[in-house]
Structure 1
């Protein structure tokens, strides 16, 4: 998922962060379309054209895509929080994250649960009848009816919003500690990493969390029992929080962007070789190390190349910033609706996914530009500022911020 523009600092001073956010969430659309077609991976609906070969390109993306989004969210919080009290920060983020979550769960997500339940043969056709039972949450559903049926209601792809609010709340409530002398020393220590230390040391906590927690806490996205994913996502969120307003570490990431790309490719190649080869007594630990090392190197590569090549006011960036949050909320329901529409036509494994991507993008654009951004009361429900607030002048750049030189 990425953080949507509504979660970013109200300033255009970091074009690379805005651009990476938009591109990351566009990638989420492609990823979720592909989830319908990848064999052996559970999803709400599965195609008869599912292919095993998709697992490896999907795994190449899946190992870092949400980590990049949470790191960017941490950067955005760092830019947003200057001059704000913990309560101001928590109140503002609560409205921008929890209102779209509640609205999305009540209005946008239910069709996904309905389509999945009908496909599983555990929900009777008839969306209106389904809503009358689903929204009040009075009657229990068969446990396998749809993802989240055990809770009576589901947030499906919107899980990113409560996770981000939880991490934001932790930082906001401990803001005096982070602004203390000890907190600033930790930040300076991280931002002072250079050369190989920047490419290796941030991966070490991720490796430790994975070895300690992954065997006991598989991913759930239910917020409560997701301890391994919390340890990874909150760690990279803190990395973004620490590095958000420091120019030096961004300069270094840009300088190391080619090295980090080569190392990321090597780490992923070794990871694949170990996964496909014979297993030894230390194979599991080696796979964990390579997986987390690849995660951090891939994120570092994207941040470095992004800062070098995307840190400029692209003509499409203003539109993307105003659109990415509604697209995020809408896209998976539109994918599911597109599947229900196209599957009976039996268009095959090439034309069908191409049309599914086009329908999803067209639906997101039409609903966002034609409805969500034009109706005042809908804007906050999709994480957008009210029209008057969105026209407010941006904040000036933070004192002390310097972009790296163009030749970096």
Structure 2
């Protein structure tokens, strides 16, 4: 199966937006409620465009993760898949809890002159924990779908994909989840049951849409402007009438409308390889893991300068992105022993070379 470069781009773009979103939190009055360093100079205006991202920024990552699992399963059996997901997801998750998230809490405590306490916690890595649980729970179903390639469910969905709003059928399940759990606010995904079950649905349908295949992508490619229009209308209603927090069923429809539109536009314009994409797609995961440390450190340096928001916000963005690049490029990427801890492939070539050299030396000695 050919590589889907648009899905790689989606992952990179979503993580980039996540960084900017987290930086915007620094300038909100409720930042400390989420244990973020807060600026003394606030900007609620800055938050308004962020609310557009809020309803789909995390769900689309779950969709993309489900799509990624589909590709991973094409060349692995169930034991190989669990082994690979354990190395790539569970190991960085557990390492992050004890060695990564406590670091940005040290910065937080230092900034506010608090006693320095070691505080292992999931923090922003909750997403990885959810993904690993979804893999374990859904693997039997996914294996069945893989084994029964032309199952009736797939064939029915393929036929229905000729209609423009067929992907909206899944909104029934998402609306049911929102109706039962009544999340407030809707975008409170981290470490909540709403975030868990919403992510579960997104992860499943990300896999299932890849299983459906060409007919799904033809649908969202053809009707991408329709999905974009629906999303824009619902956002306008939410923004003007409901002060950004609409009823759950409207939030669900808007969220998936944005996601289907983004899928469509990315599939049309970004499904091509490039050296930039190759680099960024590898860097995205470790950058996601380390970005909070860099963000907190940057905030602690920039905020005491008391600059206006229009200067401090882009400055923190710039330094955070540069800091993440430096750590990834000159530390994580180059030290092989760190690769498994940050979701990178472990390069064994240097070990193999060293082993061959030792064997050759022993042979000469004999």
Question: Scaled by the length of structure 2, what TM-score is found?
Answer: 0.86
Q: CA deviation at 1:290?
A: 1.2
**Structure with the higher fraction of residues in helix conformation:** 2
Tell me how large the CA RMSD over aligned residues is. Answer: 2.5
Instruction: State the partner residue of 1:221.
Output: 190
Q: CA deviation at 1:179?
A: 4.0
Contact 2:43-2:309 within 8 A present in 1 as well:
no
Structure-1 separation of matches of 2:152 and 2:25:
43
Instruction: State the partner residue of 1:324.
Output: 284
Map Cα deviations across residues 67-99 of structure 1 (whole Å, 9 max, x no partner). Answer: 110001111101110242222211210111111
Q: 2:150 matched to 1:158?
A: no
Which stretch shifts more, 199-208 or 36-45? 36-45
Against the structure 1 CA distance between its residues 388 and 364, is the aligned structure 2 distance closer, same or farther, given a 3 Å change threshold?
same
Q: CA deviation at 1:358?
A: 1.1
Instruction: State the partner residue of 1:4.
Output: none
Contact 2:111-2:300 within 8 A present in 1 as well:
no
Please state whether the residue corresponding to 1:313 is helix, strand or coil.
coil
Contact 1:217-1:228 within 8 A present in 2 as well:
no
Q: 2:198 matched to 1:232?
A: yes
Please show how residues 153-302 of structure 1 align to structure 2 within 5 Å.
153-179=120-146, 184-191=151-158, 192-215=160-183, 219=188, 221-222=190-191, 226-245=192-211, 246-276=213-243, 287-302=247-262
Q: CA deviation at 1:276?
A: 3.8
Structure-1 separation of matches of 2:327 and 2:317:
15
Q: CA deviation at 1:215?
A: 5.0
Instruction: State the partner residue of 1:344.
Output: 304
Q: CA deviation at 1:117?
A: 3.1
The match for 2:52 among 53, 60, 63 is 60
Instruction: State the partner residue of 1:29.
Output: 19
Please state whether the residue corresponding to 2:338 is helix, strand or coil.
coil
Q: 2:287 matched to 1:303?
A: no
Against the structure 1 CA distance between its residues 317 and 273, is the aligned structure 2 distance closer, same or farther, given a 3 Å change threshold?
same
Which stretch shifts more, 108-117 or 187-196? 187-196
Structure-1 separation of matches of 2:218 and 2:150:
23
Please show how residues 358-397 of structure 1 align to structure 2 within 5 Å.
358-387=318-347
Contact 1:89-1:172 within 8 A present in 2 as well:
no
Aligned residues: 344
Structure-2 separation of matches of 1:179 and 1:334:
41
Q: CA deviation at 1:232?
A: 1.2
Structure-2 separation of matches of 1:106 and 1:153:
5
Structure-1 separation of matches of 2:52 and 2:341:
33
Instruction: State the partner residue of 2:355.
Output: none
Please state whether the residue corresponding to 1:374 is helix, strand or coil.
coil
Structure-1 separation of matches of 2:133 and 2:185:
18
Question: Scaled by the length of structure 1, what TM-score is found?
Answer: 0.78
Instruction: State the partner residue of 2:275.
Output: 315
Against the structure 1 CA distance between its residues 315 and 175, is the aligned structure 2 distance closer, same or farther, given a 3 Å change threshold?
closer
Map Cα deviations across residues 325-366 of structure 1 (whole Å, 9 max, x no partner). Answer: 111111111000001111222222122122211111111111
Please show how residues 51-90 of structure 1 align to structure 2 within 5 Å.
51-90=43-82
Which stretch shifts more, 241-250 or 26-35? 241-250
Q: CA deviation at 1:181?
A: 5.1
Against the structure 1 CA distance between its residues 176 and 343, is the aligned structure 2 distance closer, same or farther, given a 3 Å change threshold?
closer
Please state whether the residue corresponding to 2:336 is helix, strand or coil.
coil
Contact 1:39-1:55 within 8 A present in 2 as well:
no
Which stretch shifts more, 185-194 or 321-330? 185-194
Q: CA deviation at 1:12?
A: 6.7
Q: CA deviation at 1:49?
A: 1.7
